[in-house]
Amino acid sequence: MTESFLPHMNGVTGSVMQILRHLERSGHDAHVIAPAAAGMPAEVSGAVVEAIPSVALPGYRNVRVGTSPAGRVATSLRRFQPDVVHLASPFALGWRGVLAADRLDLASVAAYQTDVAAYTERYRIAATTGIAQTHIARLHRRATLTLAPSVESAQQLERLGVDRIRRWGRGVDSDRFRPERRDHALRAQWGAEVIVGYVGRLAPEKQVEDLAALHGLPGIRLVIVGDGPTRSRLERLLPEALFLGHLDGDALATTMASFDIFVHPGESETFGQTLQEAHASGVPVIATGRGGPLDLVRMGVDGWLYRPGDMEDLRMRVADLAGDARKRRAFGEAGHDAVQGRSWASVCDQLLGHFEEARSLRPVDARLRARRVVRPEPSSIAAPRRWRRYVALGDSLTEGLCDPAPDGALRGWADRLALLLAARGGLHYANLAIRSKRVADVCGAQLQRALELRPDLVSVLIGANDLVKHRTDVAALAADLEEAVSQLRGTGADVLLVTPFLPGRRAASIYTARFAAFATALAGIAARTGAILIDTDLHPSLQERPNWGEDLVHLSSRGHRFLAYRAGEVLGVPHADALGVLDAALHEHETIGTGLWWRRHALPWVWRRLHGRAAGDGRVAKHRDYVYLGRSTAMQGISVP
Residue 370 lies in a domain: no
For residue range 258-311, what is the model confidence (pLDDT) as tens digits?
999 999 998 877 788 899 999 999 999 999 988 888 888 999 899 999 999 899
Q: What mean pLDDT, rounded, does the chain reach?
A: 83
Distance CA 393, CA 185 (A): 72
Task: Let me know whether 159 and 29 are in one domain.
Answer: yes
Confidence of residue 582 (pLDDT cuts 50, 70, 90): very low
Task: Let me know whether 234 and 154 are in one domain.
Answer: no
* pLDDT at 618 (0 to 100): 60
Q: Sign (positive/negative) of CA torsion 245, 246, 252, 257?
A: positive
Task: Let me know whether 221 and 151 are in one domain.
Answer: no
DSSP 438: -
Confidence of residue 607 (pLDDT cuts 50, 70, 90): very low
Which of 317, 338, 359 represents a domain boundary (last residue)?
A: 338
* pLDDT at 160 (0 to 100): 81
Is the pLDDT at 612 greater than 70? The verdict is no
Task: Let me know whether 195 and 145 are in one domain.
Answer: no
Task: Let me know whether 191 and 67 are in one domain.
Answer: no
Residue 74 lies in a domain: yes
Q: Sign (positive/negative) of CA torsion 145, 151, 156, 161?
A: positive
Q: Please name every residue paired with 198 in a beta bridge, in sequence order, or none if there are none.
A: 224
Is the pLDDT at 367 greater than 90? The verdict is no
CATH of the domain at 211: 3.40.50.2000
Task: Let me know whether 139 and 203 are in one domain.
Answer: no
Task: Let me know whether 200 and 142 are in one domain.
Answer: no
Instruction: Compute, in degrees rounded to 10, the torsion defined by CA atoms 306, 307, 309, 313.
Output: -60
Closest among 484, 465, 475 to 399, alpha carbons compared: 465
Helix 70-80 × helix 93-103 angle, to 10°: 60
Distance CA 403, CA 410 (A): 6
Q: Please name every residue paired with 264 in a beta bridge, in sequence order, or none if there are none.
A: 287
* pLDDT at 130 (0 to 100): 56
What whole-number percentage of the chain has pLDDT above 90? 44
For residue range 205-264, what is the model confidence (pLDDT) as tens digits?
889 999 999 999 999 999 999 998 899 999 999 999 999 999 988 999 999 999 999 999
Is residue 75 within 8 Å of 59, Cβ to Cβ? no
* pLDDT at 616 (0 to 100): 54
Q: Which residues of 46-68 are buried (b: 16+ CB within 10 A; e: fewer)?
A: ebebbbbebeebeeeeebbbbbb
Q: Considering only residues 413 and 407, tell me which one the structure prediction assigns the higher pLDDT.
A: 413
Residue 119 φ then ψ, to 5°: -65, -40
Residue 70 lies in a domain: yes
Task: Tell me how many domains the chain contains.
Answer: 3
- Tell me the mean pLDDT in the region 371-378: 45
Per the structure, the complete domain to which residue 139 belongs is given by 11-167
Task: Let me know whether 96 and 185 are in one domain.
Answer: no
Which of 136, 167, 198 represents a domain boundary (last residue)?
A: 167
- Tell me the mean pLDDT in the region 511-533: 86
Confidence of residue 517 (pLDDT cuts 50, 70, 90): confident
Is residue 466 within 8 Å of 477, Cβ to Cβ? yes
Task: Let me know whether 157 and 195 are in one domain.
Answer: no
Q: Please name every residue paired with 461 in a beta bridge, in sequence order, or none if there are none.
A: 394
What whole-number percentage of the chain has pLDDT above 70? 83
Task: Let me know whether 420 and 505 are in one domain.
Answer: yes
Radius of gyration over alpha carbons of the chain, in Å? 28
Task: Let me know whether 218 and 158 are in one domain.
Answer: no
Residue 367 lies in a domain: no
Residue 420 lies in a domain: yes
Residue 58 lies in a domain: yes
Q: Based on the number of CB atoms within 10 Å of its own CB, is 28 exposed (0-12), middle (13-18) or buried (19 or more)?
A: middle
Is residue 315 within 8 Å of 217, Cβ to Cβ? yes
Q: What's the predicted TM-score (pTM) here?
A: 0.54
Task: Let me know whether 158 and 183 are in one domain.
Answer: no
Residue 20 lies in a domain: yes
CATH of the domain at 575: 3.40.50.1110
Is residue 141 within 8 Å of 377, Cβ to Cβ? yes
* pLDDT at 41 (0 to 100): 94
SS3 content of the chain, % helix, strand, coil (to 5): 45, 15, 35
For residue range 474-484, what is the model confidence (pLDDT) as tens digits?
889 999 999 99
